[in-house]
Every structure is written in C-alpha cells, then in structure tokens.
Amino acid sequence: MDKLSRRNVLKAGGALGALGALSVATPAHALPPWTWSAQGSVAGAGTGTDPRWVWDEQADPLVASLLDRGDVPRVNQLLRTWTKNGQPLPAGLPADLRDFMEQARQLPSWADHGKLATAFRFNEKRGLYLGVLYGLASGMMSTVIPKEARAVYYSQGGADMKDRISKTAKLGYDIGTRNAFAADGEMIVTCVKTRLVHAAVRHLLPQSPYWPNVADEEIPISQRDMMVTWHSLPTTVMQKLNAWKVPIPAAESAAFLHSWQLGGHMLGIKDEYLPASWAEANAQADQVLKPVLAPTPEGIKLADILLNLGASVDAGILSKPILGAFTRFLLGDQIAGWLKIGREPIWDPLLRLSWGPFIAVREGLLPFPLAPEAYWLFDEFLRKAALLFLSEARPISIEIPDTNRPS
C-alpha cells in the first residue's frame, strides 16, 4: 500500500472498514497487535479496528481545507474570543467549520454531571499531587513516547517549548476546575481547539522536510497515539497515587476516570477506544504505552528543555537537579538514563527513602512525622513544582498552527 493511496483513503473520508483492511496489508511498524476488546470500552462495543489506522475523519479533511484555503489566521483571530463552553461561536467563521464545531462541542449522552462534581472534589483534594504528576510523570513521559516527541519537536510549537507547555498545562488545569464541562467552564473549548490543532498537525507534518527522515509513518497522531498519550496522563497518575497508597474513595477514583473519558471524547477519541474502567485502562496501557517507550534524539532535547524550565527562576541551580531526581524517582532508572539525566547524590536517596513516609504522614496514615523538616521541604517543593507547571495556566489561546517548526 503506497503512501499516496493511503492518503487518498483518508481524504475520501477515512472509512473505518477500509482503514482496518489497510492494517492487515501494511507491515506492522513493530507495534504489538491490537487485541484490546471494545467490550471494555465506554461504547461497550466496536469494530475492533486497530486505532493505529484511524485518525479523525471529521476534523482532518476540514482543517486540511482551512489550511489550503488560507483561512487559518482569520479563524485563529476569531477563535481567540471563544473561551467559555457555553459561549456562542464567534460570527464570521467559515460555515463548514462552524457546523463542525457546533457538533464537536456537544457532550455525549453518557456525560454524568454528578460524577463530574465528584471529580472536582477529587481534584481539589489531590491538586498538589496531580500538578506534580501531570508535570513530572506525564510531561516527562511524553519525551520517551517516540511518535509524540517527534511530532512535538518538528511541529510549529516545538520551537517554543515554554509556550507549548503552558498550553498543555491549560488542559490539565481546565479539566480539574469546578465547572470544567459546564457552560461557564473552559474544558470543552480547550478540547475542541486542540482537536483542530491535532488535525492541522496531521496535514502539516507530512510536508515537513524532516518528517520523512525521522518518522516511520506518514500521518501522525492516530487514535492509537491518542490513547498512548491519554494513558501517560490519567492512567499513569492513578497508578502512581495507588502505588503511593494515597487513600482514594472508589467514587472519586471512578469520577476522575470519567472526567478523562469525557476529555478523550471531546478531543475526538472514539468511545470504542476509551476504557470503561481502571482495570481496562491498565490492561490497554500495558498493551499500547509500555512497549512503545524509547529514547529519541528529539525526546532527549525536549526533556532537557523541560528540566531547564525552572532556570528562569533560579538559574537552574536547584530546580534542574530536583526535577531530574524527581523524573528518575517517578519514571525509573532506565528512562532517566535514556534522557541522560545524571544521578543526584542528595535528591535521589532523599526521594527514594523519604517519599513513602512523607505521603503516609501527609495522609494521616502515620501518627508521627519522623523528620518534620524533610517533610516540610517536600511539601514546599511540591507547591513550587505544581506552581511551575500550572502557573502558566493563565488565560491562554490555543491556536491552529499553519506551519511546521521553521528549522
């Protein structure tokens, strides 16, 4: 199957059946076969098509057409004023885009506002841990997801990682707000705009002069890639919280999952790929996330930029070693080694030996703090780290790119 004909299939509307057939005809790019059953999904049933060959058949041709028509700068300008979920779309948008967005902003019938209220309580209680985990576990993990690292590095936003991080942090911030999916919240807007951004990247990256040399695929950001990144977020976060023995009531755990199922849906992931339970999420993550983790030159550069983000605050004197040690602690020696993160004689053992008791004390599971100063230090560090990653979550505009990284 040559690249051109695959693209034509996509342009023709990307009939799922046809794409499923392609996956049989195309040599697997060393990916484990997709055996996860849609019975364990939010939809409860599905075609069984490997999401490696499914993209976004509604948004992709539409945004490709906006780019080809030169409409993107005007659209970005108009969409800057669209910030709240319940706000009418700005006047003057191209009719095809308006129709798509009106439909894409609708919550699915399975959205449960009671669960969302519980999810907010969870976010409120666990905000500190969540900020650190999103930033340092999920954020650093994204640099060892090769397809994501390459897509981010060679797309327009790769040239300004601080700006990019702040936009991604906005999604992590929005999903944790009280009114995330309500009329006065912003999560739906963030998701619909991001869906458009991803569609633009699918059209633009294949035109980058670097892309054919680095990528083993023509069109990036498949639904399988989306799920890989999704697992680097809620699945990884919940696995860590459980490993740390943070007590989480079952209803809050289920509600946190629900908010991310909804987030995935609003980003354009099909319900047949979104896990219905944590057990299903863990099973899918074992299949799609763990086997793909690997270093790339692009990921190593991105990780270095991330570790240096605190440099503007303290010239990197304290923040870089601490962020590096935290990455090693959260993601393990192998990933730290891949990212060329050096060992930290003070912070590595401190985290290894004291983190468990620190959590236990914080959660009231241990009656007496064993070393109050060290725990205070951790608490203070958590606050700083969460702030570092989330302070950028000020009103910020997610914009559709119309070029790739310039150099």
Nearest Cα neighbor of 117 from 256, 237, 249 is 256
Site size for ligand HEM, by CB under 6 A? Answer: 24
What residues have CB less than 8 Å from 397, skipping those under 6 apart? 76, 79, 80
Rule CB under 6 A: say whether 401 interacts with ligand HEM. yes
Per-residue binder mask for ligand HEM (CB under 6 A), 248-287, x = binder: -------------------x--------------------
Measured from the CB atom, the residue of 198 and 384 that comes closer to ligand HEM is 198
Which is nearer to ligand HEM, 123 or 361 (by Cβ)? 123
Exactly one of 84, 98, 125, 164 binds ligand HEM (CB under 6 A); which one? 164
Residue 270's alpha-carbon distances to 223, 332, 403, in angstroms, are: 8, 32, 27
- For residue 307, report the phi and psi dihedrals to the nearest 5 degrees: -65, -25
**Which CB, 169 or 341, lies closer to ligand HEM?**
169
Binding segment (CB under 6 A) for ligand HEM, from list 5-13, 163-171, 282-290, 362-370? 163-171
Among 97, 201, 241, 266, binds ligand HEM (CB under 6 A): 201
Give the separation between CA 193 and CA 196, rounded to whole angstroms.
Answer: 5
- Name which position in 23, 41, 143, 156 contacts ligand HEM (CB under 6 A): 156
Beta strands in 256-334 (DSSP E): none
Q: Which of 41, 49, 223, 229 binds ligand HEM (CB under 6 A)?
A: 229
398 binds ligand HEM (CB under 6 A): yes
Q: Which of residues 107-136 bind ligand HEM (CB under 6 A)?
A: none
Cα–Cα distances in Å, from 244 out to 67, 237, 335, 347, 361? 46, 11, 20, 18, 12
Does 384 contact ligand HEM by CB under 6 A? no
Tokens 């309500």 identify what position? 182
Judged by CB under 6 A, which stretch of 38-46, 117-125, 193-201, 355-363 contacts ligand HEM?
193-201
Locus of tokens 């620190």: 358
How far from the centroid of its chain's Cα atoms is residue 251's Cα? 23
Question: Is residue 168 part of the contact set for ligand HEM (CB under 6 A)?
Answer: yes
The least CB distance from residue 260 to ligand HEM, in Å, is 8
Measured between alpha carbons, how far is 387 from 320 in angstroms, rounded to an integer? 15
State whether residue 41 is helix, strand or coil.
Answer: strand
Residue range at the interface with ligand HEM (CB under 6 A); choices 27-35, 145-153, 271-279, 373-381: 145-153
What three-state secondary structure class fits 184?
A: coil
Q: In the set 136, 189, 221, 276, which binds ligand HEM (CB under 6 A)?
A: 221
Exposure of 161 in the CB half-sphere (CA atoms within 13 A): 22
Distance CA 360, CA 368 (A): 10
Q: Which one of 180-188, 220-228, 241-249, 358-366 is the stretch in contact with ligand HEM (CB under 6 A)?
A: 220-228
If phi > 0 it is left, if psi is from -120 to 50 it is alpha, else beta; for residue 44 that is left
